[in-house]
Amino acid sequence: MIDLHTHSLFSDGALVPSELIRRFEALDYEAVAITDHVDSSCLDFVVPRIVKVSKDLNAVQSVKVIPGVELTHVPPALIGNLVRRARELGAALVVLHGETLVEPVAPGTNRAGVDAGVDILAHPGLITAEEAALAAEKGVFLEITGRPGHAFSNGHVARKAQEAGAGLVLDSDTHAPHDILTLEMARKVVEGAGLPEGSLDTLLENSRVLLKKIGYPL
């Protein structure tokens, strides 16, 4: 199993990074990204700390830890610059908090994130066919999420991605221990999105492709 969207107490998660990763390791995960919520107020504080703890944990644990961020509720006009800044600070994986149905994310966020070349557009809500096609063109992965509320649009996201040829990944958006997906629940989330039985393997392979692209091959 692989999860490229999780949160520690450096944003609104419940656990310090070490405990967060240990709980995934106990479930035999191969790789986990720590992607705490950031905007311009905290980007330069959070990223170096996630980079440091990821390096420490990678030296001693079996699960591969990827330092990342989730740009969250950032005005669309600012997204491009913050994506670049996050990478300069050492974020290997940049996730964007997409236009979920359950929060007032600014219209245009999905398009700005794809234009900026984020790695994953998280819970993108009612993503348009045009946005999905651009994501396919630019190699931006769209997320099928296990997060309650955000998951309301999983079926729509899966359908638009399939029509456009965009890559899909499965993430938990973990904030607390009970959010971590078991293998059984992961299969249910994927099939609940309307994807064919066995599609979990495809989504996990997409995560491996992304990890290789950003320099963290399994």
pLDDT recorded at residue 113:
98
Q: Which residues, in sequence order, are CB contacts of 45 under 8 Å at separation 6+?
A: none
Report the sign of the C-alpha dihedral through residues 129, 135, 137, 139, in that order.
negative
CB of 8 closer than 8 Å to CB of 17: yes
Averages of pLDDT over runs of 10 residues in the chain (218 residues) are 98 98 98 98 98 98 97 98 98 98 98 98 98 98 98 98 98 98 98 96 98 97
Q: What is the reported pTM? A: 0.98
Give the distance, in angstroms, between the CA of residue 59 and the centroid of all CA atoms in the same chain. 23
- What tokens does 203 get? 């989504």
Q: Where are the domains of the chain?
A: 2-213
Q: What is the pLDDT of residues 76-117, one digit of tens each?
A: 999 999 999 999 999 999 999 999 999 999 999 999 999 999
pLDDT recorded at residue 193:
98
Q: How many residues are recorded in the chain?
A: 218
C-alpha to C-alpha distance for 172 and 13, rounded to whole angstroms: 13
The architecture in CATH of the region 2-213 reads: Alpha-Beta Barrel (3.20)
C-alpha to C-alpha distance for 69 and 138, rounded to whole angstroms: 19
Q: Which residues, in sequence order, are CB contacts of 188 under 8 Å at separation 6+?
A: none
C-alpha to C-alpha distance for 58 and 23, rounded to whole angstroms: 15
pLDDT recorded at residue 112:
98
C-alpha to C-alpha distance for 179 and 177, rounded to whole angstroms: 5
Strand-pairing partners, residue 123, are none
pLDDT recorded at residue 105:
98
Q: Which residues, in sequence order, are CB contacts of 164 under 8 Å at separation 6+?
A: 129, 132, 133, 135, 136
Mark residue 186 as left, alpha or beta (left: phi above 0; alpha: psi -120 to 50; beta: remaining): alpha
